[in-house]
Structure 1
Amino acid sequence: MITLLNKNKLFLYCLVVIISSSFFASLIQTSFGKVDVKLMNLKTPDGQNLVYDLYKPSIATENDKQPFIVVVPGFQRSKEALSNIAIELSRRGYVVALIDPYAQGMSSSSLSRLAATTQGYGMFALVDYAYAENFSFIDINKIGSTGHSMGGNAAIRGADYFGKEAIRSGKKSKLDSVYISGYVLTLRENILRDSKSNMGVSYALYDEGAFRNDLQGWDAGNMKIAPESLRTVNSVLPKDKKVTEVELGKYYGERSNNTLRVIFNEELLHPFQPYNKEATKNQLDYFDKVFGAPISINSNNQIWQYKELFTLINMIVSLLMLIPIAKLFLSLNFYKDIVKDIPASLPEQTSKSKMIFWSVFFLSALIACISFIPMVDVAKILFYESANRELTWFFPQRMNNSVMLWAAFNGSIGLVIFFLSYYFFGRHHGVNTNSWGLQINKVEFFKTIMLGLSIFICYYLILYFVYFLFHVDYRFWFMGVRIFQPEMLLVLVMYFPLFFIFFFSNSLRVNGAMRFKNQSEWKSRLIAGFANSLGLMMIIIIQYVTFAWTGTVFWTTNWLSVNLLFGIVPMMFILPYFNRIFFQLTGRVYLGPIVTCLIFIMILSTNTVVYLPL
């Protein structure tokens, strides 16, 4: 083994970089050892599991209790997606619980279809648990919650839920203060009237989901005049002091009687709001106002960006490490017979073949573009249970179902176009099917599958090792490679076949139709990257050009599906690079799609909602 590693030093280099960057990311996450971060699991009274990271500053003790804040990520986000907020709050002395919302991350699925309204995605149970003095180091009179998007809705619902409870009991609300980011739909009078919590609201001026608000166009996200923000502020003001325009950043009401209100309106898009210095500053200032920061640190002094940098390095290097891992296994005698000579390239392009190539290029991109949103709608019909947030074993991933249908459809269309272009043009102009790399016998195919599984297992074993040592994974903002619970392997098996159509189709086209004689390799790979992602890029371009022009996004009902593409497009762009590299390692088109489908689908599956009945 030592000899094998010495021959494959790139693997060791990648491993050293990942461990080093994970160590530094862990230092940031723990505020250089001043905060203890632990993975916790709460068994809720209704039989569910709530998984969360507990950030406990060293100053929080039984004799020096500190405020407690529950952080709730938004739709399709796991707890790691908002670790930046937890880092900044905990380094200022707050005890923080960063939760995996129900049906996301490691938490169990909710038994309720109204998990935000009735459970706060698990936040309600954790607030009750904390208020019952199960944590000896927190001040139960200073419990708060913050969340982005649907997590913000959970915070609103929490203010209402615990407010009603306080009215019934005649006591102070268990939830002293909430901070609502990226969500104003439920700031309605019937909810605000029972709130007994201080309330901060932060809404992106250019929020793509603002079309659902009371106003339309550019006014919809303008919190100076939005009815939602006016209701929030005026709900605590006497009649003679009610306002017709909100002054952003101004505190209304009184902290002492839990009527404090403040509105922020950062010039951002919805998905990027949690990862902005100004938005983070506003949130830190709010909690300093309502609780008083135990450790005084200027709100502009933020270090979370460095953790994002180190985990981004992790993500990039971990994907690059797939190549030396594959080489390491291929050097073993068991796998050596699947390594074949790289087939000859396609003939050099002529003017006519270039015309055919670029016609197919743009036709495929157009089909990819126009078929995505219809597949979103088809998925709602075919997978009714998950589309309606019902627990099911039948394709339980509401958002990924549409991506899977799109992938299967476009993969199939891609294969049809590939073979038709060969039949009508390629075979008459010197294209040899041997250049496709399809030839393989049963034993070699079985070993190729075994190799793909071995690479997948090795990749995730390294991730688990890193997580065990440092409690960090590979990620940047809302895109991440994270650990998973065992049942996700069943989900992977369920989704793999239809997704594989696309991944195999891409490998065949990249290596059998985009590899020309006398064409530089970097240019060939770059063209393949754009060929595989241009259609989805066009959807994003259409969505945001329309938004910039009119103040309302082009696709409204399915705007969250378009937002999903921010994480998918980078995957689609780099996919051909890996399919080409694995082709060059084996001389065949099979290993690439097996490895990339396993890993990319697990990445997608662990970064979305999963309505499994567990």
Structure 2
Amino acid sequence: MSDIFSNHLLTSRHALILGLLLAVLGSISASLIQSDLGDVEVTDITIAAHNGETISALMYLPPNATEKTPAPAVINVHGYVNQKEVMSNFSIEFARRGYVVIAMDMSGHGGTGVIENDGSRGVSDVLKYAHTLPFVDSNHIGLVGHSMGGWSSVTAAVNHPELVRTLIVAGSAQGGHEVEFMLGAPTVSDDANFNFGVEFGKYDEFVAINYFDQERAVDFVESHWLMAPFGASEPVILDRVYGDFASGTGRMATQSPETHAGVHQSSVAIANVLKMMNLSSPAPVDRDESNQIWPYKEVATSIAYLGLLLFMFGLVAQLFRTSMFQKLVQPMPTTQPMHPTLYLGFAGLIIAAVALLMVPLQMTAMHVFGANSLFPMLFANTSILFFGTVQLIFLALFVAYRVIRRSESSNFWVTHGLSTNSATTEFDWRYIGRAFGLSFLVVAAGYLLVATVYQALNVDMRWWMLLIRPMEPHRFLSALIYLIPFTAIFLVNGLLAFGWLRLRDFGGGIQTSVIWSSALFFVNASGIAIIIGIQMFSLYTYGKPYFGEVGYDTLMVILGNGFIPLLAVTSIVSTLCFRKTGNIYTGAFLSGMLATWMIACYQPY
């Protein structure tokens, strides 16, 4: 890794220090923005569930909310495969306007345990808890739920209408028992004794599981599932107030130009939700809906995320210089690079295979293997089976290629980075132990940094859905099991990238490292980007998803957004470690640990 940092303006020590500063200062800035420069008190709280489990939540307490002047409250509920932090953009803006906010982790998500046989997934328990708070106006408690959080909020409101003033769902709907996708939700009647609002993105991918009689999100206003609770016999008119919010019979529907997950990053969607809540429970602090500061927090947490990565990259380079790990450093083995035409041909095959197999392989994995006690994280399992199968396919292609080209060098273990000695064929377990130890120390240091920031400031390091956060104890134990298959995937990926599809040296360490990293990222991630691109093209051109009629297949494409930054990080790590050590082991261990952490930290189960 010295070829990147040494003898350049940015040394490994500078990278480590700069990364640490960016991670800490970005997180402090995010915390200040989240608390409206300290005016809002943000605390991590634990709420007792009715079955003995605990519910993890963040409470945002504005200065106007006191026992003498209780304030209206909003319970924010995230969607499937998310956590309370993803709703921070809504939470920040509600709290700035004087609402008490409780952003909760649903059942099986984040720090909340599994609450069996509860269609509200813990929302009912949080709703009851909010009514016990002396600084909350119990006559003005609202629910805001995104996606599955919307269904959960509908269930809580229908079961406890006397506890709810206003229910707003974003990217979600009422009803849904007719479709066998995560149970749906009860039906909100037109005479339900609470206000009801709907925010639905113009390009929402999940129209088929929320408004079953429509194919395009823009047409959700014509759906029976929207018109029924509005008591309307004709398509609902957007932004029009139906009924009376002051008396608890109000109904309103809005639409922002967003995808399903895009509402979290939408000033328009957030303004629409603020407006509907304000009609029912006027904000104690008068601020225009367009006055929003949450984007600055997104910038700050993004800077913190990048700082964390830079910190870990710098730490890797520093550790290679220590007496304990200097023995890992070896020259790269020399081998004949693959001809550019052949390289492009095989790279094209890999990209095409990833694109073609991404959705069907994961859907097959979900239905055939699902989740179990040993591997309890459903979408970690689908990821492993998808990426693992792709690697095995091309490992078989590689073997066939080797058989055909018998004239190649016989020093296979050295030239393909499998030997622990780049000069001779050798496999030393002590070397493997050192490689694993270096990787563990780097990830442990990064984890300690993230956990310290999270504990002290109540912010994670993220941009939108792309995040890294501490893991709860049960996730950590599962992660130790997942480390094995993820590391195996990157061992094969490194063998194929640096032993088979080897590029030529482009002169100059940094130039070659950048080109190799970029090429590996392009090969690994382009197929995923193609699928996401096709989905977005279909949504923005035809108004409906190309992939997805029943829900999970659409979800696979959305989750693909998280694979791309992960593969960017692992491509850099794998390349730099191979060029520093002459073999694939350190890069595979480090990539496997990072992938396990980044995937396991947010999986529900």
TM-score relative to the length of structure 2: 0.89
Q: 1:298 to 1:105 in 2, by over 3 A?
A: same
Q: Which amino acid aligns with 2:99?
A: Y
Mean alpha-carbon deviation: is it higher for 419-428 or for 480-489? 419-428
The counterpart of 2:469, out of the listed 478, 482, 507, is 482
Q: Counterparts of 1:402-417 in structure 2 under 5 Å?
A: 402-417=382-397
CA contact (8 A) 1:506 1:576 kept: no
Q: Does residue 19 in structure 1 map to residue 24 in structure 2?
A: yes
Q: Residue deviations 1:41-83, cap 9 Å, x none?
A: 1121211110000111122111111111110000000111111
Which amino acid is 1:556 matched to?
A: E
Letter of the 1:197 partner, please give it.
F
Counterpart for residue 549 of structure 2: 556
How far has the Cα of 1:177 moved from its partner?
A: 0.8
**1:510 lines up with 2:513 in the alignment:** no
Given the alignment, which residue of 186, 193, 198 partners 1:196?
193
Matches within 5 A, 1:23-422: 23-112=28-117, 115=118, 117=119, 120-131=120-131, 133=132, 135-163=133-161, 173-184=162-173, 186=175, 190-193=187-190, 195-212=192-209, 213-218=211-216, 220-234=217-231, 242-344=232-334, 346-347=335-336, 353-384=339-370, 386=371, 392-422=372-402
The corresponding residue for 1:169 is none
Q: 1:189-210 CA distances to partner (integer Å, 9 max, x unpaired)?
A: 9432563211110011211111
**1:581 CA displacement:** 1.1
Kept in 2, the 8 Å contact 1:85–1:280? The answer is yes
What is the rounded CA distance, in whole Å, between the counterparts of 1:216 and 1:263 in structure 2?
16
Contact 1:22 1:314 in 2 (8 A): yes
Deviation at 1:433, TM superposition (A): 5.2
- In the TM superposition, residue 546 of structure 1 has moved relative to its aligned partner by 4.2
Counterparts of 2:186 and 2:135, CA distance in 1:
36
Which sits farther off after the overlay, 36-45 or 416-425?
Answer: 416-425
Secondary structure, in 3 states, of the residue corresponding to 2:196?
strand
Equivalences for 1:408-487 in 2 at 5 Å? 408-425=388-405, 427-428=407-408, 434-440=414-420, 441-487=428-474
How many Å separate the matches in 1 of 2:567 and 2:113?
Answer: 30
Matches of 1:507 and 1:185, distance apart in 2: 48
Kept in 2, the 8 Å contact 1:162–1:196? The answer is no
8 Å Cα contact 1:510/1:579 also seen in 2: no
| Aligned-CA RMSD value | 2.3
1:601 paired with 2:593, answer no
Whichever residue aligns with residue 246 of structure 1, its letter is: V
User: Do the aligned partners of residues 175 and 550 (structure 1) sit closer, same or farther apart at CA in structure 2, a change above 3 Å counting?
Assistant: closer
1:354 and 1:330 map into 2 onto residues whose CA distance is 32
Amino acid at match of 2:139: N
Structure 1, 265-274 or 306-315: larger mean CA deviation: 265-274
* CA separation of 1:607 and 1:421: change in aligned 2, threshold 3 A: same
1:453 and 1:595 in contact (8 A); partners too: yes
> Structure 1: where are the runs of 5+ without partners?
1-5, 164-172, 235-241, 387-391
Secondary structure at the counterpart of residue 121 of structure 2 = helix
Q: Distance in 2 between matches of 1:569 and 1:137?
A: 44
Corresponding residue for residue 425 of structure 2: none
Note the C-alpha offset of 1:430: 10
**Aligned mates of 2:351, 2:406 — CA distance in 1:** 21
Q: Which amino acid aligns with 2:355?
A: C
Match of 2:182 in 1: none
Q: Secondary structure at the match of 1:51?
A: strand
Quickly say closer, same or farther: Cα 1:305–1:254, change in 2 above 3 A.
Answer: same
What is the CA–CA distance in structure 1 between the aligned matches of 2:482 and 2:345, rounded to whole Å?
Answer: 31
Task: Give the whole-Å Cα distance in 2 for the aligned partners of 1:540 and 1:494.
Answer: 30
Indicate the SS of the match to 1:428: coil
Secondary structure, in 3 states, of the residue corresponding to 1:50?
strand
Superposed CA deviations along residues 262-312 of structure 1, whole A, max 9, x for unmatched, are 000222111111210111111111121111101111110100000000101
* 459-468 or 570-579, which deviates more: 570-579
C-alpha deviation, 1:449, in angstroms = 1.2
User: Does the CA-based 8 Å contact 2:190-2:229 persist in structure 1?
Assistant: no
| Bigger mean CA deviation after superposition, 575-584 or 293-302 | 575-584
Q: Distance in 1 between matches of 2:352 and 2:158?
A: 47
Q: What CA distance in whole angstroms lies between the structure 2 residues aligned with 1:507 and 1:251?
A: 59
Q: Deviations 1:311-369 (Å, cap 9, x if unpaired)?
A: 0111122122221111222222122212112223x4355xxx23322221122222222
Residue 102 of structure 1: SS of its match in structure 2? coil
Q: How far apart are 1:34 and its partner, in Å?
A: 0.4
Report SS of the residue matched to 1:191.
coil
Show the 5 A alignment for 1:473-552: 473-519=460-506, 521=512, 522-547=514-539, 548-549=541-542, 551-552=544-545
Q: Are the structure 2 counterparts of residues 596 and 195 from structure 1 closer, same or farther at C-alpha, using a change threshold of 3 Å? A: farther
Shift of 1:517: 2.8
Query: In 1, Cα distance between the equivalents of 2:318 and 2:534?
Result: 44
CA drift at 1:244: 1.3
CA 1:432–1:376 in 2, change beyond 3 Å: closer, same or farther? closer
The percentage of aligned residue pairs carrying the same residue is: 23
Tell me the SS of whatever aligns to 1:8: helix
SS in 2 for 1:147: strand
Q: Which amino acid aligns with 1:604?
A: I
Distance 1:95 1:535, change over 3 A: same
Q: Hey, what's the Cα distance between the residues in 2 that align with 1:481 and 1:125?
A: 28
Unaligned runs of 5+ in 2: 1-10, 177-184, 421-427
Equivalent pairs counted in the alignment come to 572
Work out the CA distance in 2 between the residues paired with 1:154 and 1:129.
Answer: 16
Question: How many Å apart are 1:431 and its aligned residue?
Answer: 8.9
Helix, strand or coil at the partner of 2:325? helix
What SS does the corresponding residue of 2:140 show, helix, strand or coil?
strand
Deviation >4 Å, runs of 4+: 187-190, 429-433
Q: How far 1:552 sits from its partner (Å)?
A: 4.2
Counterpart Cα distance in 2 of 1:550 and 1:247: 19
In structure 1, what is the Cα distance between the partners aligned to 2:355 and 2:530? 6
Structure 1 residues 189 and 254: alpha-carbon distance in aligned structure 2, compared to 1, 3 A threshold: farther
Name the CA distance, whole Å, in 2 between partners of 1:549 and 1:65. 48
SS in 1 for 2:246: coil
Using the TM superposition, give the Cα deviation of residue 577 of structure 1 relative to its aligned residue in structure 2, in angstroms. 1.8
TM-score normalized by the length of structure 1: 0.88
